[in-house]
Amino acid sequence: MALAFRDNLAVLVVVALLSTAYIMPLLTKIRRFRVAEYFAVAMLGLALSGGIYLAREILLHGTFTYAVGGWPAPWGIELSLDAVSGFFLITIGVVATPIMLYASVDLIKEVGSRSRAAWFLTLFLLLVAALCGLAVTGDLFNIYVMVEVATIASCAIVAARNDATSVEATFKYLMLATIGSGFVLLGIGFLFVLTGNLNMNFIAQELSMSWQKYPTALWVCLSFFMVGFGVKSALFPLHVWLPDAHSTAIAPSSAMLSSLAIKGYIIALLKVFYVAVGAKIITRLPITDILTLLGMVAIIAGALFALAQDELKRRLAFSTISQVGYIFLGIGLGNIHGLTGTFMHILSHATTKALLFLAAGAMIKHTGKSRISEMAGVGAAMPVTVGAFAVGSLSMIGIPLFSGFVSKWQLLLGSLANGNYLAVLVLVGGSLLAAAYLLPVLRMAFFERPLQKPVVANVSYVQLAALLFLVVVIISVGVVPDGVLQLASEAATALLGLEVLP
Amino acid sequence: MTDFVLKRMVALVLPFVQMLGLYVIFHGHLSPGGSFSGGIITGLSLIAFSLVFGLERGHEKISERLMGLIESFGALWYGAMGLVGVLRGTTFLMNKGAGVPLGEPGRLFSGGLILLITLGVGLKVASTMVTLFNALMEEEE
Amino acid sequence: MGEFWSRILQNYPYVFALALFAIGIYTILTHSNLFKKVIGINIMEGSIYILFIAAGNVRGGVAPILDMTDTTLTYVHPLPQALMLTGIVVSVSVTALSLALIMKLYRFYGTVDAKEIMRIRTEVRANGARIS
């Protein structure tokens, strides 16, 4: 049988990124380093366009599956392409491409040597490929492998700077992430023992018939998944590795980890909970209430910790913990608005946090100051960069016309639909706290009189282009959210197993 | 290290270890083992050489540059073998359906693409092991 | 209660696996020697291999190599074994990465003890200097 182009596209995106990752060491040996970097950017751009094309096909023609190697589902590995995959592929492309573009300017100087920079490119692309794999796969063990590839690659790009603090942070991250993957693998083992399958759709069929025979085993297995993915995606009490790892890495690494790597594990959690186990079972178990509660605690606690930090990158890292809380709150709500909000927040936090970390990286690099209290007058020295930072801040707070507003609005609707007024309060309070920890940076940068006259810093045009690309994405999602919102609500409908609205 | 017995023994044993590694790689589709186990055995033989005769002699046999090339080649080879199916109009990693002759079950040259894929992965595993060992050894200085 | 214990006895590999898992995590979290943490990781992953292999076991089954001449053989489930081979590959890479990181840490701090590293770091931070 002849297959259409779109059927092979999903696997081609992953394979192309993996191959590009391994071409990098060869290419940097025989050509100039710039060539390799632009090749990587071009491949990421191609992956983005592939993702957009796939999402469009899924919206037009519905979901489809792809049997790798021609072996059908219970025997072979199956990729299942639904709106969730399309949405996450687009998110990955939109965020990873500008980060790579930003990194291309002075990568060799940042990581020390040419060969280290080549390996950084390899690991970066491996991370992106693993995240794409997480987006498209329909197989539990495949999820484990992709999660491991992503974990090891992200550990390595934290250590890329090769100084004492970042290596120490990496070690801590690696230990906790490995415990996390141990829990995930144990959970997969439990699901395999319970159902005899690793394909998520088959597990769902099996469980829907037989889960009442062993509710305790299922409950234990789900808590393994929750702890495992919770450690990896820095859900509040399990977040201890994140501030060190994200604040000591170089700017592109921090941006990549904070915006995308964490989201990959959240997508995996969503797939396990809502596809493998199924919305009908999951909403009946108390696990969703626990997720809602942890999400609310994370929103407030993360924001309070962020307020206490004076180092700019640490403040942003704690802000990530707070924003991950929003995503888990949406997962816990378990209704259509909540999950739409979760997906929208995955996109808007990914773009916004990438923008904030990249802009902060440029600010720290050109002024040599990493503390907020020293940043007086930075706004006059580098107006475009700090302007981009301002756009990111406003979006993070949730001001209308920026993408953060769209996602928080959906989460608000979801909380109201569940009658959870505490969650409404927490959402509003989280936004106010976000304003409290982000606006002082802007006040310091723009309105505080500097001690000496600021020197105008010339940020490279390529880096400015990367920042502006993210700004345009944030504003256009905020102003015309229709298309993305439709895709997100389609993804939520697919997860909840509801009929697609005409 | 100047241990005469150790050096002679390693020189005697190494060819057999390497043969075993290659045997395991080549019989991956027929018997237990395969690319990972075989690659590890082959890689360990090279590591044992470097351990006994010193890193410099090890580098003389196979340079680090060549190791890096083999490593990238192994991964790319897997992707290329997978693309055979796509180019023939079927799915990724498709074997029989893509028109690859399978041969007679139980013979060495059977299983179509599987043998070729295991070969690439075995090379990749072996070279990765050696690279890891070299990296860890050199950091110490 | 008797039925409970007999079921536990019948499924003893799973009990072993979970006990080992707990031991592994305990080792990672409580020992301050970094090498012992890595050993803890390997114990933890080993316990999961036991769980999977036990899940695929069939009493009286033989290794899943197809024997064309004998059709009466019962084979154990080959899938968990293949999966655990992948798991072993993953744990090898995690171990290698963590050993490399420990070596770097030793070069920076001169010790492989987590508490000692923490102490040096706070001292250096109090002095306001950077560790080279």
d(CA A176, CA A342): 25
- The pLDDT value recorded for residue C130 is 53
Per-residue pLDDT tens for A283-313? 888 888 899 999 999 999 999 999 988 888 9
Q: What is the dihedral of CA A419, A339, A347, A239, to 10 degrees?
A: 80
Structure letter (DSSP) for residue A500: P
**Residues constituting chain B:** 141
Among residues B17, B6, B43, B19, which one has the least CA distance to residue B124? Answer: B43
Judged by phi (left if over 0) then psi (alpha if -120 to 50, else beta), residue A78 lies in: beta
What is the per-residue pLDDT across A103-138, written as a single tens digit (0 to 9) for each? Answer: 988 888 888 888 888 888 999 999 999 999 999 998
User: Which residues in chain C have their CB less than 8 angstroms from residue B106's CB?
Assistant: 68
Under a CB-based contact definition with an 8 Å cutoff, are residues A429 and A437 in contact? no
Q: Which residue of C has its CA nearest to B141?
A: C107
Phi first, then psi, for residue A30 (nearest 5°) are -105, -15
Of residues A119, A355, A398, A393, the one with CA closest to residue A252: A355
Minimal Cα–Cα distance from B123 to chain A, Å? Answer: 14
Q: Is A141 in contact with C83 (Cβ distance < 8 A)?
A: yes
CB B2, CB B54: distance < 8 Å? no
DSSP run (H or E) holding A114? helix A114-136
- The residue among A214, A193, A183 whose CA lies nearest residue C52 is A193
Helix (H) or strand (E) holding A67: strand A64-67
Q: Residue A297 has what pLDDT?
A: 93
Asked if A359 contacts A390 with a C-beta cutoff of 8 angstroms, the reply is no
Beta bridge partners of C62: C75
Of B31, B105, B136, the CB nearest to C99: B136
Q: How confident is the model at residue A4 (pLDDT cuts 50, 70, 90)?
A: low
State the pLDDT confidence band at A502, using cuts at 50, 70 and 90.
Answer: very low
Which residues neighbour C59 within 8 Å (Cβ) at sequence distance 6 or greater? Answer: none
Contact state of C103 with B136 under an 8 Å Cβ cutoff: yes
Residue A501: what pLDDT? 45
Q: Which residues of B touch A2 (CB under 8 A)?
A: 89
Q: Which helix (H) or strand (E) holds A66?
A: strand A64-67
Contact C73, C47 (CB under 8 A): no
DSSP-derived 3-state class of residue A81: strand
Condensed to tens digits (0 to 9), the pLDDT of residues A149-179 reads 999 999 988 888 878 888 889 999 999 999 9
Average pLDDT estimate for A44-63: 88
**Closest residue, chain C, to A75 (C-alpha):** C79
Considering chain B, what is the average pLDDT of its residues?
84
Separation of first and last alpha carbons in chain C: 62
Task: Identify the DSSP state of C11.
Answer: T
Q: For position A146, what pLDDT does the model report?
A: 92
How far apart are alpha carbons C40 and C20 in whole angstroms? Answer: 10
Q: Quick one: residue C83, left, alpha or beta (phi over 0 = left, psi -120 to 50 = alpha)?
A: alpha
Hey, where are the domains in chain A?
286-502
Nearest CB among C24, C79, C98 relative to A174 is that of: C98
Q: Which CATH number applies to C2-64+74-127: 3.30.465.10, 1.10.287.3510, 3.40.50.620, 1.10.8.60?
A: 1.10.287.3510
The CA-based angle A216-A219-A220, given to 5 degrees, is 85
The Cβ of residue A114 has, within 10 Å, a number of other Cβ atoms equal to 12
Smallest Cβ–Cβ distance between B36 and the set C89, C99, C107 belongs to: C89
d(CA A216, CA A287): 12
Chain B residues lying within 8 Å of A15, measured CB to CB: 79, 82-83, 92
pLDDT of residue A175: 92
**The dihedral formed by the CA atoms of A84, A86, A92 and A93, expressed in degrees to the nearest 10:** -170
String of b and e for A453-483 (b: at least 16 CB within 10 Å)? eeeeeebeeebbebbbbbbebbbebbeebee
Which of A125, A126, A134 has the alpha carbon at shortest distance from A88? A134
A214 exposure class (CB count in 10 Å sphere: 0-12, 13-18, 19+):
middle
Of A172, A331, A368, the closest CA to residue C28 belongs to: A172
C-alpha–C-alpha distance, residues B117 and B114, integer Å: 5
Interatomic CA distance for residues A37 and A237, integer angstroms = 38
Q: Hey, how many other C-beta atoms are within 10 angstroms of the C-beta on A12?
A: 18
Residues of A in contact with C98 (CB under 8 A): 171, 174-175, 178
Residue B2 — very low, low, confident or very high, per pLDDT cuts 50/70/90?
low
pLDDT tens, position by position, B62-76 = 888 888 888 889 889
Phi-psi region of C129 (alpha: psi -120 to 50; beta: other; left: phi over 0): beta
Residues A203 and A225 sit within 8 Å (Cβ to Cβ)? no
Q: What is the ipTM of this complex?
A: 0.91
Strands A78-81 and A64-67, how do they pair? Answer: antiparallel
Does the beta-carbon distance from A164 to C131 stay under 8 Å?
Answer: yes
Chain B residues with CB-CB distance to A8 below 8 A: 86, 91-92
Q: What is the pLDDT of residues A56-92, one digit of tens each?
A: 888 888 888 888 877 887 888 888 888 899 999 999 9
Q: What is the pLDDT of residue A64?
A: 83
Residues A252-268 have a mean pLDDT of 92
Q: CB neighbours (10 Å) of residue C19? A: 11
Q: Domain limits of chain C?
A: 2-64+74-127
CB contact under 8 A, A164 and C55: no
The Cα-based distances of C132 to A106, A417, C104 in angstroms read 21, 55, 12
Interface-testing mutation among C10, C101, C118, with chain A (most A C-beta atoms within 10 A)? C101
Q: Which residue of A has its CA nearest to C108?
A: A164
CB-based contact C55:A189 (threshold 8 Å): yes
